[in-house]
Amino acid sequence: MPEPRPIQNLTQALTGIAVPAEGPRRRLPRLSPFRTEDPAQRARYDDATLWYGAVWMAGERRLRLFGPPGLNLVPLLRAARYETEAGPLPAPRLRRFKRYATADFPLDRPAATLSMELNGQRLSMPILQQDLSTFRGLNTLYTMSQNNDLDWIEDWITYHHRRHGANGLVIADNGSTAYSPGDLAERLSRLDFLKGLRVTSVPFRYGPSSAICRRASQARFLQTAIANLHRDLYLTSARAVLSCDIDELMISTSGRSVFDAAVARKLGFLTVPGYWRFSRVPPGQRARHADHLWIDPARSKPCPTKYVIRPDGVLAGWSWMTHSLEALPRAAFKASPEFWFAHCHDISMRWKEGREATTEERAWQRDPALEALWSA
């Protein structure tokens, strides 16, 4: 097996900036009230983080911060004073997206630290330096993960390399406790087909489930913000980017790569529907992707789409969401019948919650397409 690459070049950590303990807290979005009085459950909502991270974009001579929507904290963000070690910054251009916010500053030279003065207190975080060369021209997967088994992650990226030609990987690790970002990077660095690899520690609150508040997706900010941070940090020169989770395998009915299909499209954008697949492994045994050979007829409806995008194409600059691009009607982009993804039910640590168990197995049917795939 190949030797691992130097880990210090493959990992980094976001530290963010949060409201001081005595400061005001971000209220819930207006249409997302809590369903529970349990303080531990309510604490999953991020009411304190102001900014997740900062990226200096050399080509644009711009410093961009990414964070949750300010909501009631917008006046605080506007009143704050910002500077780097080179001196004060002008007032930021604040922009609100559906699930996150950005602040842009003109900045001609790279800087190491962003400082924010808030009500007499000085808060700071490191500035990440944009690196577009690592993933230039690569077929790249992007995902957020927490505590997923290392075998699962290796199986997932290896499958997409063999079947679709993936040769780049960016993982945002959301506070895993089973291993460190360095452990994850060391394991993946032994895969010699990966020409580009980065693991970012993202130790922020993921957000509430639907059991905790109504319209919970409106109160989950992290996933979308971090995806767009990584787009600007690493991915705008990639050949194509597939955004999907560790439990999702892209299936091609023609043998063509999803990356090739996206690049060939006029808009450089391809949506892919998903369908649940289930495993039947003995009790106490951890399922793998290849065990998911079963269809439950009671759960045959498509899952929300995932997508592949050419980041320097016509839709460059559009905000990335989990299932599509912001403000882009999903109905306007019919999924190609050439591709679908197998949503593997038991490849999960239940970190997002809401994935109910399936018990009615007598009606399950074997999937001949996946049987043929794994036996090939």
Each residue of 204-231: pLDDT tens digit?
999 999 999 999 999 999 999 999 999 9
Are 228 and 320 in contact, with CB atoms under 8 Å apart? yes
**Residue 7 pLDDT:** 55
Reply yes or no on whether the pLDDT at 330 is more than 80. no
The mean pLDDT of 182-200, rounded to a whole number, is 97
| pLDDT tens-place string over residues 266-323 | 999 999 999 999 999 988 889 999 999 999 999 999 999 999 999 999 999 899 999 9
* pLDDT for residue 357 is more than 60: no
Average pLDDT over residues 71-86: 96
> In this predicted structure, what is the pLDDT of residue 9?
84
Q: How many CB atoms lie within 10 A of CB 1?
A: 6
Phi and psi for 91 in degrees, rounded to 5? Answer: -60, 135
Whether residue 47 is predicted with pLDDT greater than 80 in this model: the reply is: yes
pLDDT of residue 355: 45
Name which residue leads in pLDDT, 134 or 3.
Answer: 134
Q: Residue 354: is its pLDDT beyond 50?
A: no
Of 339, 357, 368, give the one whose Cα is nearest residue 160. Answer: 339
Model confidence at 110: pLDDT above 70: yes
Average pLDDT, the chain: 93
Question: Can you give the three-state secondary structure of the chain, one letter per residue?
Answer: CCCCCCHHHCEEECCCEECCCCCCCCCCCCCCCECCCCHHHHCCCCCCEEECEEEEEHHHCEEEEEECCCHHHHHHHHHCEEEECCEECCCCEEEECCCCEEEEEECCCCCCEEEEEECCEEEEEEEEECCCCCCCCCEEEEEEECCCCHHHHHHHHHHHHHHHCCCEEEEEECCCCCCCHHHHHHHHHCCCCCCEEEEEECCCCCCCCCCCECCHHHHCCHHHHHHHHHHHHHHCCCCEEEECCCCEEEEECCCCCHHHHHHHCCCCEEEEEEEEEEECCCCCCCCCHHHEEEECHHHCCCEEEEEEECCCCCCCCCCECCCCECCCCHHHCCCCCCEEEEEECCCCCCCCCCCCCCCCCCCCEECHHHHHHHHC
The lowest-confidence range among 3-12, 55-64, 80-89, 360-369 is 3-12
pLDDT at 1: 53
pLDDT band at 360 (very low <50, low <70, confident <90, very high): confident
Question: How many CB atoms within 10 Å of residue 208?
Answer: 26
Q: Please choose, from the candidates 249, 134, 133, 247, the residue with its C-alpha nearest in 3D space to the C-alpha of residue 194.
A: 134
Tokens of 147: 């505590």
- pLDDT at 135 (0 to 100): 97
Could you tell me if 206 and 351 are in contact, meaning their C-beta atoms sit under 8 angstroms apart? yes
Rounded Cα distance, 208 and 235, in Å? 28
What pLDDT, on the 0 to 100 scale, is given for residue 241?
Answer: 98
* Percentage of the chain lying above the pLDDT 90 cut: 87
Residue 225: name the closest of 62, 68, 48, 103 by CA. 68
C-alpha distances in Å from residue 190, one per residue of 5, 150, 187, 195, 324:
7, 13, 6, 11, 32
Interval 137-155: pLDDT, tens: 999 999 999 999 999 999 9
What pLDDT is recorded for position 352? Answer: 46
pLDDT of 228-271, one tens digit each? Answer: 999 999 999 999 999 999 999 999 999 999 999 999 999 999 99
Residue 353: pLDDT band (50, 70, 90) is very low
Average pLDDT over residues 101-118: 97
Give this prediction's pTM: 0.94
